Amino acid sequence: MTEIRYLLDEHVDPKLQAALRRRRPELDVMRIGSPGAPTFGSDDIHILEWCYREGVILVTNNRSSMPVHLGERMEQGLPCNGIFILNDKLSLGEIAEELELIWMVTDLEEHINLIRYLPISEG
């Protein structure tokens, strides 16, 4: 069982990282551009590969290209840790609560090769 770690895409509100850290200081959450993470402007394919190597789930609001690239990886037989796509109708607090709950009750293996649209509870 592998604990969930998150990488926030560069277009996700940076306040989400702070909100998650306030709720759960022990939760490993980083952003694109953070030390050790992919740099700003990295292409989707590089980000998905990095997430897989590092055992991280990508949290993004990119509903157009990111699911396509995940599908392409899977067609090539390359696994992915999955991605969580944010719903822009959710408040920052609701998103943080949803990600905290997912972190508390699931593990990384449950999300391999899946696209999850938040909130999962409605899904």
Indicate which CATH number applies to the domain containing 52.
3.40.50
Question: Which tokens in the block code for residue 22?
Answer: 């306030």
118 within some domain: yes
Is residue 39 assigned to a domain? yes
Instruction: Supply the pLDDT for residue 123.
Output: 47
Strand (E) or helix (H) holding 68: helix 65-75
10-residue mean pLDDT series, the chain (123 residues): 93 96 96 96 94 96 88 89 92 96 95 90 55
| Rg for the chain, CA atoms, rounded | 13
pLDDT of residue 122: 55
| Total number of domains constituting the chain | 1
pTM: predicted TM-score of the whole model, two decimal places: 0.93
Query: Is residue 4 a contact partner of residue 57, using CB atoms and an 8 Å limit?
Result: yes
**Is the residue at 114 inside a domain?**
yes
Within a domain: residue 11? yes
**Residue 33 belongs to what domain range?**
6-122
Residue 79 within a domain: yes
56 in a domain, yes or no?
A: yes
CB 92 within 8 A of CB 18: no
Asked if the structure places residue 1 within a domain, the reply is: no
